[in-house]
Amino acid sequence: MQVAAKISAPAPTISGVEFRPANFANFAEALSYAATGATGFTYYNSRGEVSEVLTYRRLQEEAAETATRLLALGLTRGDRVAILAETEADFARAFSGAMLAGLVPAPLPLPVAFSAREAYNDQLRRIVAVAGARAVITPAEYENWVAEAMRDVGLLFCGRLGDLPTAEGAPPPHPTLRPDDLAYLQFSSGTTGSPKGVAVTHRSMMANLNAIAEHGLKLRAGDRGVSWLPLYHDMGLVGCFLTPIATQFSADYIATKDFIRRPLLWLELIDRNRATVTFGPTLGYDLAHRRARGRAPEGLDLSSWRVAGIGADMVKAPVIRAFAETFAAAGFDPDAFTPSYGMAETTLALSFAPLGQGLRTARLDLDALERQLIAKPAVAGGKARDFALCGPPLPDHAMEIRDETGKRLPDGRVGRIFAAGPSLMREYFGDPAQTAACLSDGWLDTGDLGYLTTGEHAGQIVITGRAKDLMIVNGRNIWPQDLEWTVETRVEHAREGGVAAFSTTVDDSGPKIEEEIVVVVECRLRDPAGRESLRAEIHGAVRESHGVDARIAFAKNGELPSTSSGKLSRAKARLMYLDGLFDLPASSPPQTPPA
């Protein structure tokens, strides 16, 4: 596809059309309206230079051309198109074009740091198979990898966007997008063994975008965003790609890999373009704070920044406070912090802390929380952690806290979080069993643990952990089954059913506050040197396949606990670990740089 000549000036901040808070029936209407204004996306390279400006007017034109070429392949309404989600303008063209064609785009993750090519290719094959994709679009950088992964997959097309064939004869008409048509499929960034595709309709998508714009962030004309978040993540895709289009504001992008290398570029762009809204996990604030070495760069001005959103994983209060202290001299207002809660299964957002509230926390006793599910105020000398207040449910949405029997608990009691509202996903695509397990009578079992506050800030959700096995590290979703399968299949001395993976919450008063992944392996070896060699082998297998570090513990043969039905009980194994019943390494593993 023809790309415009390089331009040094970013897309304008002022649209020139009346602001609409995502109150459209579908994506096509939202893009069509945004295209009447002057705003759009600006892409930056690793040096902070503009590499491409894609106004919404151009995006609509080129997405329409892409839609025609996709339909010319023989794709029809509802067919899935997998798109490798690189932070570049061709992703915007491909994703938008697929939607305009009535197709269902499915963003594919990029390789994580230290992951092996074979493991990544296997991940792509699994996701494409679950999606039933008939076409795959990839950037040039990964074209060979994707071609290798898709070699034996029957596809109508696999290649770069610019290589799509042009339509011959009269172009096929673009279908009208219906509210209950699927808009896109969202796959977890950590999905490997058992991919689950969150199926979101246009109705749910637009309901969430409107709730975010009108109520959660109270967006307005003149807002501008900056993002480094991956576009295969729900916060990157919905919050930082779809929301700007649906609300006609400009957004500036840097690739995630460039942010990791130069985290202060994020803040430089906020200053340079007078951005007002940006989101990220605690990791982003931590990297920027560390790179600044406790002192904001001379001349940096962050006074335009009114919403500093925090999401994607549990908020780590010490990191957020350190960031605010470091950048106060640059005009950063700590009241701009906006903790939030949501997930792909609710399109994106369920709640936002009230604007201007900043970071408010409850400091809880970790032993009482992990062993008894009680939100007990911390006592001096005990293990404790601050947990963020993430605001009340968005209008027309609801959250309930329930016990193990499904009974609703009163405010202030910790239990499983259930959510309802117009933003819920339709299903896990092609997986009725998994869908039935979490969706019932209009309520979604989020798998998270938390409570609703009482008192002065009553009705706000506080996330305290997870009831389901999913682990979230640096904003990435990681399933323990995937780690267990890797160890069982790649490590000679590990046996099926003899591996348990889980995560633990650590006391945030120490130097390490990130959730820690633990892998417990039943080990028959007695020789100390052999055991340590095996520990290193297991750590290496997990790191290479999944790009994360884990603390490796050993259990005696047959010591890992089971449920009454004979299945591995990760919850019981976790409690045994906390009680010190497993053989642990002398120290935690060295940390892998975030992907």
- 3-state per-residue secondary structure call for 222-263: CCEEEECCCCCCHHHHHHHHHHHHHHCCEEEEECHHHHHHCC
Helix orientation angle between 282-292 and 264-273, rounded to the nearest 10 degrees: 90
What pLDDT digit, counting tens, does each position of 449-469 carry? 899 998 888 899 999 887 766
Structure tokens, 29: 């209407």
What distance in Å separates the CA atoms of residue 266 and residue 246, rounded to the nearest whole number? Answer: 23
Place of tokens 């990220």: 280
> Which residue in the block uniquely carries the two structure tokens 């009831």?
467
Distances (CA, A) of 50 to 7, 114, 161: 7, 29, 21
**What pLDDT shows up at residue 193?**
54
228-237 residue pLDDT tens: 999 999 999 9
Distance in angstroms (rounded) separating the CA atoms of residues 210 and 301: 30
Q: Using an 8 Å Cβ cutoff, are 125 and 150 in contact?
A: yes
CA–CA distance, 385 with 396 (Å, rounded to integer): 32
What are 390-439's pLDDT values in tens digits? 999 999 999 999 998 899 999 888 999 999 999 999 999 999 999 999 99
Read off the pLDDT of each residue in 583-594 and give the average, rounded to a whole number.
59
Secondary structure letter of residue 99 according to DSSP: H
Q: Token digits for 418? A: 């259930």
Question: CA torsion, points 298, 280, 231, 184, in degrees to nearest 10?
Answer: -150
The residue-averaged pLDDT of 558-562 equals 84
State percent of the chain over pLDDT 90.
63
Give the C-alpha separation, 106 to 99, whole Å.
Answer: 10
Phi/psi for 173 (5° steps) reads -70, 150
Q: Which domains does the chain have, with CATH numbers?
A: 27-262 (3.40.50.12780), 352-421+430-466 (2.30.38.10), 479-578 (3.30.300.30)
Asked if the model's pLDDT at residue 513 lies above 60, the reply is no
Give, in degrees to the nearest 5, the angle at Cα 185 between 180 and 190.
Answer: 150
Confidence of residue 3 (pLDDT cuts 50, 70, 90): very low
**What distance in Å separates the CA atoms of residue 305 and residue 290, rounded to the nearest whole number?**
20
Mean pLDDT score of the chain, rounded to an integer?
Answer: 89
Q: Where are the beta strands (DSSP E) in 138-246?
A: 157-159, 182-187, 197-201, 224-227
Dist CA 478 CA 481 (whole Å): 9
Q: Angle, to 10 degrees, between the axis of helix 528-546 and the axis of helix 117-131?
A: 50
Q: How far is CA 216 from the centre of its chain?
A: 18
pLDDT band of 569, cuts 50, 70, 90: confident
594: pLDDT strictly greater than 50:
no
State pLDDT tens for residues 354-389.
999 999 999 998 888 877 788 888 888 787 888 999
DSSP assigned state of 439: E
Report d(CA 15, CA 28) in Å as an integer. 18
Residue with tokens 């950590």: 190
Of 595 and 18, which is predicted with more confidence?
Answer: 18
Tell me: pLDDT of 574 over 90.
no
Judged against a pLDDT cut of 70, whether residue 5 lies above it is answered with no
Look at residue 542 and tell me whether its pLDDT is greater than 90. Answer: no
CA angle 504-466-460, nearest 5°? 120
Which pLDDT score is estimated for 595?
45
- Token duo for residue 28: 């096509």
Answer with the residue of higher pLDDT: 347 or 577. 347
Percent of the chain with pLDDT over 70: 91
Examine the pLDDT at 165 and tell me if it is beyond 50: yes
**Beta strand segments in 112-245, E:** 135-137, 157-159, 182-187, 197-201, 224-227
pLDDT score recorded for residue 465 = 80
Cβ–Cβ under 8 Å, residues 471 and 479? yes
For 467-511, the pLDDT digits (tens) are 766 676 665 667 677 788 788 878 888 877 789 998 887 655 555
Pairing of strands 250-254, 40-44: parallel
Per-residue pLDDT at 200 exceeds 70: yes
Q: Which residue has the tokens 């640096």?
A: 474
* Confidence at 576, pLDDT banded by 50, 70, 90: confident
Scanning 35-88, the segments in alpha helix (DSSP H) are: 56-72
Note the residue count of the chain.
Answer: 595
Residue 317 · residue 359 · CB < 8 Å: yes
State phi, psi for 66 to the nearest 5 degrees: -60, -40
**Could you report the per-residue pLDDT of 432-442, keeping only the tens digit for each?**
999 999 999 99
For residue 586, the model assigns a pLDDT of 62
Q: Residue 107 pLDDT more than 90?
A: yes
The alpha carbon dihedral of 449, 106, 517, 483 has a sign of: positive
CA atoms within 13 A on the CB side of 581: 14
3-state secondary structure of 240: helix
pTM of the model: 0.82
Instruction: Name the token pair of 6.
Output: 């390089």
Q: Which residues contact 455 (CB under 8 A, 6 or more apart)?
A: none
**pLDDT for res 191:** 42
Residue 185 has pLDDT above 90, yes or no: yes
Residue of 526 and 239 predicted with greater confidence:
239
Exposure string for 26-36, b = 16+ CB within 10 A, e = fewer: bbbbbbebbbe
Residue 115 clears pLDDT 70, i.e. is over it: no
Mean pLDDT of 284-313: 93
pLDDT number for residue 477? 62
- What integer is the mean pLDDT of 219-227? 97
**Most confident by average pLDDT, 193-207, 218-232, 522-536:** 218-232
CA distance 284 to 240: 15
Q: Are 11 and 269 in contact (CB under 8 A)?
A: no
pLDDT digits (tens, 9 = 90+) for 40-72: 999 999 999 999 999 999 999 999 999 999 999
Within 8 A by CB and 6+ apart from 182, the residues are 78, 104, 199, 200, 201, 202, 426
> Average pLDDT of 179-186?
96
pLDDT score, position 78? 96
As a whole number, mean pLDDT of residues 526-544 equals 89
Of 5-9, 290-294, 343-347, 511-515, give the range with the top mean pLDDT: 343-347
